[in-house]
Amino acid sequence: MSLRSSHFRSIILPTVFFIGLLSSSAQQNEDPTITTMEAFSGYPLHEPNESPTLHLASSLSLDAQALQEQIDELSTFSDSTAPSVTRILYSEKDVLARRYVKNLMRLAGLSVREDAVGNIFGRWDGYKPELAAVATGSHTDAIPYSGKYDGVVGVLGAIEAINVLKRSGFKPKRSLEIIFFTSEEPTRFGISCLGSRLLAGSEALAEGLKTTVDGQNISFLDAARAAGYAKDKDELSSVFMKKGDYFAFLELHIEQGPILEEEGVSIGVVTAIAAPASIKVDFEGNGGHAGAVLMPNRNDAGLAAAELALAVEKHVLESGSVDTVGTVGILELHPGAINSIPSKSHLEIDTRDIDEERRNLVIEKIHKSAVTIAKHRQVKLSEFKIVNQDPPALSGKLVIETMVAASRELNLTHKLMISRAYHDSLFMARICPMGMIFIPCYKGYSHKPEEYASPQDMANGVKVLALTLAKLASL
Ligand SMILES: *[C@@H]1O[C@H](CO)[C@@H](O)[C@H](O)[C@H]1NC(C)=O
Ligand SMILES: *[C@@H]1O[C@H](CO)[C@@H](O)[C@H](O)[C@H]1NC(C)=O
Ligand SMILES: [Zn+2]
C-alpha cells in the first residue's frame, strides 16, 4: 500500500511542477508593449486583466464564533434533549428551524423563495443575472437522536460563505444561490433526498408523493400543507428544475468517516458519490421438525439465505475494485426456533459502487445466484425485489479543479476522496456539474449525539466553499 502511494506521488509531483511552470511562463508572456507604455505614461492604460479572485484567498475573514453559535442555536429546534437532535420533516421543530434559516438568509441580504415541498432558496444576484447561477446547500433535517452538524454545516456554512464574500467586497458575475433541501433523511416518508430528488425532475416521485403516507397514516400532502407547502397536489412538478438552470452545485459536509481526521488533512475534495441499491429477498421451504425430517428430505430456507449471503460477498469481491461493497444487513428466519427447520427466510442486501454498470452487474449475479440456490435447495424464491437503484455520480471536472485550486490558495491540505454515503449532491448531479467539500469530524461519528466538527475545521471548509463559489461565479 505504501509502495503504491509513493509511486503515485512521484507521478503527481512533476505534473504539479509542470503546471506551476506553465502559469509563471504565461505571466511573462504578456504583451510587452503594455508594460512599456504604462511605464512611459505613468498611468495604467488598461484595467488590469487579472482574475477577480486573485487576492481573495487572503482577504476572506470568517466569523467562526458566530457560525458555531448558529449551529448551537439551530440544534435547540429538536424533539429530543441535547446533545442529541431530532428534527423530522414538517414537524413543528422543522418549521421553526426553517424560519430561523430563512431569517439568516435575509440578514445576509439574500432574496428568499420556497418551492412546493419546502426547498428554500436564498439568492444573491450577480451582475450578469441572466447567466446560470452557482448553487450550494445541504439539509437540516436530523434522524432521531442524531447530531447537530450533519447537513447543517452545509446550510449555515453556505450563508457564512456568502457573508464572507460580501465582507471581502467581492461582486459575483453569476448569481449565487443557497439551497436548503427538504428531507434528505428518509425518516418520515421512507424517501431519502426527497427535496433534491424532486428538484432534479423525478416524475416517479412527483406521482408517488400523492399517495405516500407516514407511519401514522398522515399523507405527505397533508403534512406538507400543515407546514405551509403543497397547496395544490398538481403543483409538485413545479419543483422540477432542468439541466442548465444551474452552472454548478457545491455541498459542504462533514465527512461522516474517519479518513480526514486520521490523516490530518483539512479538506476532502469529493470526486464521486457512491450510490446504494437495496434488494429484498424471500425464500420459502417446507420447514419441519429438526429431528424428524432427515437431511435428504429437507428444503431449508435458512440455508438458502446463508448461501446467498456468501454469494453476495463473492460477487462483490469478483468486481476487483475496493469501491464495490455489499452487505447483508438483515437476515431473518421463520419460525426462528432451535428445533424447527426454517420454512421462510428474508434477506435485505445493500450494494454500492461509484460505477453503476459494475454495481448493476453485481445485482444481476446476486439474482442469478438466488435463482440457482432456490433450484438446488428446492425452495421457492418468493421475492427478489430491487427496492431502489440510484445511479452513482461523478463530480464535475471543473468543479473538482476549482475546489483543489481554492484549497491550495488557502494553504489547506486536501485529499481527493469518494463519498460512500450519499447526499443531495447525488441528485443535483442529474442537472448540473456537482462537487462536494468534506471536512474532518471527530472519529468519523455521525448520526449520533457525539457528532462533532471543530470551529477551525468548519472555518476551513467555509473558506474553501466561499473561494470555490467566487471562482465559479466569475466564469
Ligand atoms: C499561503 O502561504 C503563502 C506562502 O507562505 C502566503 O504568501 C499566503 O499569504 C498564504 N495564503 C493564505 C490565504 O494564508
Ligand atoms: C389510512 O387513511 C386512509 C384515508 O384516511 C384510510 O382509508 C385507511 O384505511 C387508513 N389506513 C390505515 C392502515 O389506518
Ligand atoms: Zn447529510
Residue 245 DSSP class: S
Residue 6: what pLDDT? 37
Residue 49: what pLDDT? 58
If you measure from the C-alpha of residue 141 to the centroid of ligand 3, how many angstroms do you get, rounded to a whole number?
Answer: 8
If you measure from the C-alpha of residue 74 to the centroid of ligand 3, how many angstroms do you get, rounded to a whole number?
Answer: 15
Residue 28: what pLDDT? 40
Strand partners for 284: 344, 380
Q: Residue 58 CA: which ligand 1 atom is closest?
A: 13
* Mean local confidence (pLDDT), 295-306: 97
Query: Residue 70: in which H helix or E strand, if any?
Result: helix 64-74
Whether 239 contacts 198, CB under 8 Å: yes
Query: Residue 398: in which H helix or E strand, if any?
Result: helix 397-409
Integer Cα distance of 92 and 39 in angstroms? 66
Q: Residues 114-165: pLDDT tens digits? A: 999 999 999 999 999 999 999 999 999 999 999 999 999 999 999 999 999 9
The SS3 of residue 434 is strand
* Pocket mutation for ligand 1, best pick of 53, 62, 411 (most atoms within 8 Å of C-beta): 411
Length of the chain: 475
Specify the residue with its C-alpha closest to ligand 1, atom 9: 58
Residue 54: what pLDDT? 83
Integer Cα distance of 458 and 64 in angstroms? 8
Whether 87 contacts 140, CB under 8 Å: yes
**61 Cβ closer than 6 Å to some ligand 1 atom:** no
If you measure from the C-alpha of residue 409 to the centroid of ligand 1, how many angstroms do you get, rounded to a whole number?
Answer: 7
Query: Residue 345: in which H helix or E strand, if any?
Result: strand 344-353
**57 Cβ closer than 6 Å to some ligand 1 atom:** yes
**472 Cβ closer than 6 Å to some ligand 1 atom:** no
If you measure from the C-alpha of residue 381 to the centroid of ligand 2, how many angstroms do you get, rounded to a whole number?
Answer: 31
**265 Cβ closer than 6 Å to some ligand 1 atom:** no
Specify the residue with its C-alpha closest to ligand 1, atom 2: 411
Residue 14: what pLDDT? 37
Residue 51: what pLDDT? 81
**410 Cβ closer than 6 Å to some ligand 1 atom:** yes
Q: Residues 366-407: pLDDT tens digits? A: 999 999 999 999 999 999 999 888 889 999 999 999 999 999
From the CA atom positions of the chain, what is the Rg in Å? Answer: 26
If you measure from the C-alpha of residue 146 to the centroid of ligand 1, how many angstroms do you get, rounded to a whole number?
Answer: 38
Residue 232: what pLDDT? 75
**134 Cβ closer than 6 Å to some ligand 1 atom:** no
Instruction: Look over the chain and give the mean of its residue pLDDT values, rounded to a whole number.
Output: 90
* Nearest by Cα to 402 from 18, 53, 14: 53
Q: Residues 409-446: pLDDT tens digits? A: 999 999 999 998 889 999 999 999 999 999 999 999 99
Q: Is the pLDDT of residue 27 over 90?
A: no
Nearest ligand to the C-alpha of residue 151?
Answer: 3
Q: Residue 57 CA: which ligand 1 atom is closest?
A: 13
**85 Cβ closer than 6 Å to some ligand 1 atom:** no
Q: Residues 327-354: pLDDT tens digits? A: 999 999 999 999 999 999 999 999 999 8
Q: Residues 162-183: pLDDT tens digits? A: 999 999 999 999 999 999 999 9
The residues placing their C-beta within 5 Å of ligand 3, an ion, are 150-151
Look at 29 and 113; give whichever has higher pLDDT. 113
If you measure from the C-alpha of residue 274 to the centroid of ligand 3, how many angstroms do you get, rounded to a whole number?
Answer: 14
Residue 276: what pLDDT? 85
Residue 32: what pLDDT? 44
Q: Residue 410 CA: which ligand 1 atom is closest?
A: 13
Residue 373: what pLDDT? 98
Give the pLDDT band of residue 275 (cuts 50, 70, 90).
confident
Q: Any idea which of 27-41, 159-173, 285-299 has the lowest mean pLDDT?
A: 27-41
Residue 233: what pLDDT? 63
